[in-house]
Amino acid sequence: MKRPLFNRMVIIGVGLIGGSLAMASRRKGLVKEIIGVGRSTANLREAVRLKIIDSYTFDISEAVKGADLIVLSTPVGSFERLVKQMRHSLNKGAIITDAGSVKGGMVIRLERLLPKGTYFVGGHPIAGKEKSGVKAATDRLFEGTKCILTPTKKTDASALKKIKALWKSVGAEVVLMDPMLHDKALGAVSHLPHVAAYSIVNTAAEIKKDGNNFIAFSGGGFKDFTRIAASSPEMWRDIFLSNRENLVNMISLYQKNLEKLKRYIKDKDSKRLIKELEKAKAVRDRLN
């Protein structure tokens, strides 16, 4: 029998991502024992019932004792607080990784918080859906996706190797990226679209006439585009605020392009309008 990659995995935040990683790791034989930590008794009990985790606790310090892998899968705004709570209970050699959508300075701050002989490897699986909670978890969520790891000069080579092996084993293609570059890239292709989706839903909901709420007439296009606005508000609040500098810049650029389209439409400038639409279509077609 193949030796597992980790003996005891602690998942802090047993939701879609954390639960899916636990399920995939168990199916692949990557871990011996999985402990869940969270806030909702009902969610954690459900995770045990579904055999996603072996047991759960609300005491983070207790949970991480003897663990060789801790996965932070909560809103990114909670990471520093959680590491402060656990750092004096960590075993030597323990690896902490995360599934957060923001890295940048957060990676450096977490590295500084950890005691000598314990390691942090920043991670971000580019996977998910608008549903949250352990019931949305699936053991095949990461197959065919990318997972960005964000090592720094301080990252332990052995720890990085093990986290790379973890994500590859559950089906993800691993990409290494500088933490600051990660936040700029994800600000453009993930965080900005979420801002736009939330804003468009709120805009459409505000348009009412003669007692009609126009959003009730939305079709497939509206639903497809705004699907991500059904994501966790708490999670996205933390992402927006944690990556605020990049995101504010992206919003400004988006407003500039939106104003350009507005001007072409207002001026009935068919030639320039079609050029902008064709440019966008060509870029989008390359994603298929």
CATH of the domain at 29: 3.40.50.720
Q: Specify the CATH number for the domain of residue 235.
A: 1.10.3660.10
**Residues 142-199: pLDDT tens digits?**
999 999 999 999 999 999 999 999 999 999 999 999 999 999 999 999 999 999 999 9
Domain stops at, among 177, 195, 214: 177
pLDDT value, residue 1: 54
- Domain span at 97: 6-177
Domain stops at, among 142, 159, 177: 177
Residues of the chain with pLDDT under 70: 1, 130, 210-211
Between CA 174 and CA 265 the distance in angstroms is: 43
Q: What pTM was estimated for this model as a whole?
A: 0.91
What are the b/e assignments for 98-136, b being 16+ CB within 10 Å? bbbbbbbebbbebbebbeeebbbbbbbbbbbeeebbbeb
